[in-house]
Amino acid sequence: MKSVVQVFSVNLLSKLLLGVTGVLIIRFMPEIEYARYTLALSIVSVFSQVLVSSFKRIYIIGCQRFKVVKVKNYSSLFLGLQLWIIFVVVIITLPFKGFVSEIYWFVVGLIVATCISEFAKTVVQQQLNFFRFSVIEIARTLSFVFSFLYLLYFISYQLRSWQVLLIQTLAMLGVSFFAFSKNIDFNSFLKIRQSIRLALELVKGEYKYVFGYFFVFAFFSQVDVFILKAISESVELATYGSAFRYYNLLLLGLGSVHTVLLPVVQRVESIGDLKSILAQHKRMLLVFVPLVLLGAWLSKWIIPWIDMGKYPNAVIVFQILALSAIVSFAFSPHSNLLMRFEDFKFLFILITLGLLVNVGLCVLLVPIVGAIGSAISTLIAFGSVNISIFWRSRKYRDRLIALPQNYS
């Protein structure tokens, strides 16, 4: 509980600072540029889910199982493989860079910076060093915020998407270098043979479903943005992007819980341990839900004041997404339990079905109600997936009851 409060407190401060920055971006960035910025962040999010989230789970859950990690500085191999994957994807996508126009290389830079920064946090998270985890988080946030304010002071309403992407990239890389450079063997990045060996080990057995799960989940969480880009107007994409920034403030609690729960649930050995975790989560839920509902109610006054009426539908989009945040928070421990028992195949199949539901609903609703349709699709699809995970987790709770001492 203490670790959750610590991570949550730092995340709260970090997200509040980023939230203020996001408000300023919405206010000072022109609609077309903000739509472009929203698309860029969605692309970065896809890569973060596919690479960062999957490598994070595998590194925390079972990195010691791989033969290749017996070498010195095996953490550098995990990071190096991610960077090699990004390099290959960049080569493949170069002919299609017109999709994001002139910000392509700024998007690539932010993807690289995100992978490096998040992996630095993953290593200390696996060590249960949540203090250092929090220091990295707040340091990169402060670096970005102060750089952004300095930029905004000089250019005001001339703010462009590439400028914000650039300072985000530099802030992440700068903090990561000072916080993690001593732990990195840069020569490992050039050892292609060892990277290939690690890649082959990762795709063997059940771990291929981990990558499949996060690959599909990456598109699942951002497909509404891509569909809005494809079949709707820029103002609808900007509206959804605006509401999504406020929604991310609600998710800081969920992120804090997952940060602590993932390594903690990996150490669960009895039903008593699990009940203790669930009891603590229930107490946090009793605080989280009223705060979210209060925020959703106040949003009808706050959001129009922030965006000066540019995105009138952002209020209802945010309120729908707020309900989705409550559902995700309520069921968050159970997805970690499935990770604990390595039920990766089920998660992969379930998230694939969830993606199909989300796409189908978006294609049906976006032409009718625009960004509101995307929010409704997200609520239904994520709700269905989370409820299914809850029912599946009952199987493993029963297993803990049957084997109260140890799981092997």
Domain identity same for 112 and 261: no
Domain identity same for 74 and 127: yes
Domain identity same for 200 and 241: no
pLDDT top residue among 404 and 150: 150
Whether 402 is covered by a domain: the verdict is yes
Give per-residue burial for 227-238: e unless 16+ CB within 10 Å, then b: bbbeebebbbbb
Domain identity same for 194 and 226: no
Whether 210 is covered by a domain: the verdict is no
Domain identity same for 44 and 191: yes
Whether 9 is covered by a domain: the verdict is yes
Query: Domain range holding 395?
Result: 222-408
Whether 384 is covered by a domain: the verdict is yes
| Count of domains forming the chain | 2
State the Cα–Cα distance between residues 144 and 135, nearest whole angstrom.
Answer: 14
Count, residues in the chain: 408
Whether 214 is covered by a domain: the verdict is no
Domain identity same for 169 and 257: no
Question: Which of 52-66, 106-120, 194-208, 375-389 is most confident?
Answer: 375-389
Domain identity same for 126 and 248: no
CB atoms within 10 A of CB 47: 21
Whether 217 is covered by a domain: the verdict is no
User: CA-CA-CA-CA torsion for 212, 216, 292, 366, nearest 10 degrees?
Assistant: -170
For the stretch 145-186, pLDDT in tens is 999 999 998 887 788 999 999 999 999 998 888 766 666 666
Domain identity same for 240 and 307: yes
> What predicted TM-score, i.e. pTM, was given to this entire model?
0.68
Domain identity same for 35 and 158: yes
For the stretch 85-122, pLDDT in tens is 888 888 988 887 777 778 889 999 999 998 888 877 77
Domain identity same for 227 and 370: yes
Q: What angle do CA 52, 204, 128 make, to 5 degrees?
A: 40
Domain identity same for 189 and 237: no
State the Cα–Cα distance between residues 199 and 216, nearest whole angstrom.
Answer: 19
407 Cβ neighbours under 8 A, 6+ residues apart = 268, 269, 341, 399, 400
